[in-house]
């Protein structure tokens, strides 16, 4: 039995998902064309701040909160017709999460290359 490394899983995910820059994400957000979703853990947000106009959905709850048939669905929290733009601290967890959302059937999903590290160096406002 060969167990895949997390690096192998991320590399495979990157082949299947859409990756955008923080600048592209800011444009989509400013135009109201996406749900900007921060999948970092609460402690990370407490330590580094939150991106203005982003929704916080911890990685561990993402699939559950976005499953319209599930008991944890956050009805009305997000516009399900808009692109789901995910980010984490550096872009690894969000790549895996974006792949998972694609597997769920979401067609408009992407992740931000470089995650919060890249976002914090862009024109996004951190609050």
Torsion angle (degrees, nearest 10) of CA 106, 97, 23, 90: 180
Q: What is the pLDDT of residues 66-100, one digit of tens each?
A: 999 999 998 888 999 999 999 999 999 999 999 99
The answer to whether residue 53 is domain-embedded is yes
Q: Decide if 101 is inside a domain.
A: yes
pTM, two decimals, is 0.95
Report the Cα 26 to chain-centroid distance in Å: 13
1 inside domain: no
Residue 4 lies in a domain: no
Q: What is the CATH number of the domain that holds 42?
A: 3.40.250.10
Question: Is 6 a domain residue?
Answer: no
Q: Decide if 124 is inside a domain.
A: no
- Give the pLDDT score at 76: 87
Residue 33 lies in a domain: yes
What residue numbers bound the domain in which 94 lies?
11-119
Mean of all residue pLDDT scores within the chain: 96
Per-residue pLDDT reduced to its tens digit, 3-15: 999 999 999 999 9
Instruction: Work out how many domains the chain is built from and give that number.
Output: 1
Identify the DSSP state of 52: T
């Amino acid at each position: 039995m060969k167990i895949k490394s997390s690096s192998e899983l991320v590399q495979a995910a990157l082949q299947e998902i859409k990756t955008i820059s923080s600048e592209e994400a800011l444009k989509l957000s400013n135009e109201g064309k996406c749900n900007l979703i921060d999948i970092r853990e609460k402690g990370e947000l407490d330590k580094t701040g939150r991106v203005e106009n982003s929704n916080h959905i911890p990685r561990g709850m993402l699939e559950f909160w976005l499953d319209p048939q599930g008991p944890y669905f956050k009805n009305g929290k997000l516009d399900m017709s808009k692109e789901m733009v995910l980010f984490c601290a550096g872009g690894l967890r969000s790549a895996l999460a974006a792949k998972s959302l694609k597997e769920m059937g979401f067609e408009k999903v992407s992740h931000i290359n470089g995650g919060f590290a890249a976002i914090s160096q862009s024109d996004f406002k951190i609050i």
